[in-house]
Structure 1
Amino acid sequence: MATVARAIALAGAFHHCSHITIRSPRRLYHSCRAIYNPKVQIKEEGQPQTLDYRVFLVDHSGKKVSPWHDIPLHLGDGVFNFVVEIPKDTSAKMEVATDELYTPIKQDTKKGKLRYYPYNINWNYGLLPQTWEDPSFSNPEVEGALGDNDPVDVVEIGERQRRIGQILKVKPLAALAMIDEGEIDWKIVAISLDDPTASLVNDVDDVEKHFPGTLVAIRDWFIDYKIPDGKPANWFALGNKVANKDYALKIINETNESWAKLMKRSIPAGDLSLL
């Protein structure tokens, strides 16, 4: 694991942005028992900013469904579903409860207290359904780091603030390989198709052109946010570079395959809820 000093030094290097580029092969995405036309509604239980607060998704009949397992990942033509956990310009650390039935979204806790980021996150943040970062897989491309046992994270850079539990159609643009306490925690940079600038951005270079400084800001934010809590700074693998769209699609495909193995019980689930 990098030291705080090393990670902070890396943050400075990010101001000169460099990219990793790969070409994308044809891919097959896995989906189990997914709602292929997800007409779901958001159902809140409890009061926000309390330990009991949960955000569920329910189908047309009122049945609870999992935002992690039941919402399809791939919609075709490079478009994916994205579930919002943390709306833009908020600080409550919301996340899918991967160990609870139907995996609702809740506010994270530490020692029985609700967790907040030290400052607002500047983008909509959430997960790609039907993905999983396998904690038993040592990835040689990111210095052998193991997966963090969670779905893949998305940073959606559009201009609008979204709602907890909202499902957006997004297109991936780039990937960042964040190392958090020795584990790989992929960040897929994406934009919602209904954003006014969506047609202008299709890959990492377009992000630099139409959202100048955004990739640097994302990396700096994720490097620094744990420091006020006395934890080491995070850092980034892949030679501190931002990977392009095709690399992001590769990561999505690989973590979707890991999720499929998890759902088939080919990999032990541990405390994870598969319902």
Structure 2
Amino acid sequence: MAMAATLSSARLTAVSASLRRIRLPRTSPSSFSLRQRRRHLHFTSPSALLKTDFKTEEVGQPETLDHRVYFLDPSGKKVSPWHDVPLHLGDGVFNFIVEIPKETSAKMEVATDEAYTPIKQDTKKGKLRYYPYNINWNYGLLPQTWEDPSFAHVEVEGALGDNDPVDVVEIGDRKAKIGDILKVKPLATLAMIDEGELDWKIIAISLDDPRASLVNDVNDVEKHFPGTLTAIRDWFRDYKIPDGKPANQFGLGNKAASKDYALKVIKETNESWGKLMKRSVPSGELSLA
């Protein structure tokens, strides 16, 4: 029996070493087939959770028109943070890509119409865009999601999707960096309607936050982060007013919906992204590389 236990321990050690060596396929976006992407849509190896699987590379100076933050795979090839970073991590945990760190105002976003969809600062009439005041939470996107502009959401006044990945508001204490990939769990969602377009805001928390274990649904957020849901809604309602635009509206009774509803939104928009990647729906000017 001692020999059997030794052999079992050796096998477990070998398996653990093997798992540590697993990495995502070392391929460029052009050779990473749609079939492979669809396979990653529903299951991701635990090795894909490692932050070291993806690196970022800055081009140009921050707060200039030329500034870009590209994502690289382990071999140094450019990949898309929108298309190639996995969404699902299992057990209700998802990858979240930080575009705008908390307490900053530069309006950074994934360039959905550029090859490899790098993060850049948004522009209007050739000028860099800034929020009128700092955003108080880490803000970014869920990869492998898409709000289909041809899909009318019957539960939110029939509003059409805004043609972007789904936004995330991460309420943890730590200030992240542009391009960070955080493991988060959704807690709630707001159905923002921006000039008639549906722009979901998933409220989530990073698993490395000290209070992450205390919050698992919308009611927990109010208990452990009192006033946060109202503050998020009001911030996104009012941020365009200083530019002379009307306040944004919200569906679903003007309140944050539950975690289950947030998961439903993620599932729907993940499926829409899958159709986009299969060319089942028109991509327009969106980059699928």
After superposition, residues 141-156 of structure 1 pair within 5 angstroms as 141-156=155-170
Match of 1:100 among 114, 122, 125: 114
Deviation at 1:205, TM superposition (A): 0.5
Which whole-Å CA distance do the structure 1 matches of 2:62 and 2:238 have between them?
Answer: 26
Partners of 2:141 and 2:110 in 1: how far apart? 8
Map Cα deviations across residues 97-155 of structure 1 (whole Å, 9 max, x no partner): 00000000000000000000000000000000000000001111000000000000000
> Residue 117 of structure 2 aligns to a residue in which SS?
coil
Deviations 1:217-236, CA, capped at 9 Å, x for gaps: 00000000001111111010
Match of 1:240 among 254, 257, 269: 254
For the 8 Å contact 1:32–1:69, the answer to whether it is kept is no
Q: What's the counterpart of residue 216 of structure 1?
A: 230
Q: How does 1:180-219 map to 2 (within 5 A)?
A: 180-219=194-233
The normalised TM-score by structure 1 is 0.88
Give 3-state SS (helix, strand or coil) of 1:141's partner: coil
Alignment-mate amino acid for residue 136 of structure 2: N
Deviations 1:79-108 (A, max 9, x none): 000000000000000000000000000000
Cα distance, 1:41 vs structure 2: 0.7
**Offset, 1:32:** 3.1
Following TM superposition, where does structure 1 have runs of at least 4 consecutive aligned residues deviating by more than 4 angstroms? 33-36
- Shift, 1:204, TM fit: 0.4
| CA distance in structure 1 between the aligned counterparts of 2:132 and 2:196, rounded to whole angstroms | 22
Distance in structure 1 (CA, Å) of the matches to 2:279 and 2:158: 24
In structure 2, the partner of 1:130 is 144
Q: Is the 8 A contact 1:169 1:193 kept in 2?
A: yes
Q: Which amino acid aligns with 1:117?
A: Y
| Paired position in structure 1 for 2:88 | 74
Answer with 1 or 2: which has the greater Rg.
2
Using the alignment, how far apart are the partners of 2:245 and 2:254 within structure 1? 20
Residues 9-28 of structure 1 aligned to structure 2 (within 5 Å):
none
Query: What amino acid maps onto 1:252 in structure 2?
Result: I
Contact persistence 1:153–1:187 (CA under 8 A): yes
Aligned to 2:131: 117
- Cα deviation per residue 1:185-234 (whole Å; 9 max; x = unaligned)? 00000000000100110000100000000000000000000011111110
Q: Which residue of 2 aligns with 1:83?
A: 97
- SS of the aligned residue for 1:254 comes to helix
1:230 and 2:244 are equivalent in the alignment: yes
Amino acid at match of 1:32: R
Find the aligned partners of 1:65 and 1:31 in 2 and give their Cα distance.
12
| 1:273 corresponds to 2:279 | no
- Alpha-carbon distance, 1:60 to partner: 1.3
SS in 1 for 2:155: helix
CA shift, 1:42, in A, is 1.1
The yes-or-no answer on 1:263 pairing with 2:269 is no
Distance 1:33 1:54, change over 3 A: farther
Report % sequence identity.
Answer: 80
Aligned Cα root-mean-square deviation (Å)? 1.2
8 Å CA contact 1:31, 1:130 repeated in 2: no
In 2: Cα distance, 1:42 partner to 1:104 partner: 9
Match of 2:186 among 161, 172, 179: 172
Of Structure 1 and Structure 2, the greater helix share is in 2
Q: Say whether the 8 Å CA contact 1:84–1:125 is kept in structure 2.
A: yes
Aligned counterpart, 1:251: 265
TM-score by length of 2: 0.83
Larger RCO (CA under 8 A, 6+ residues apart): 1
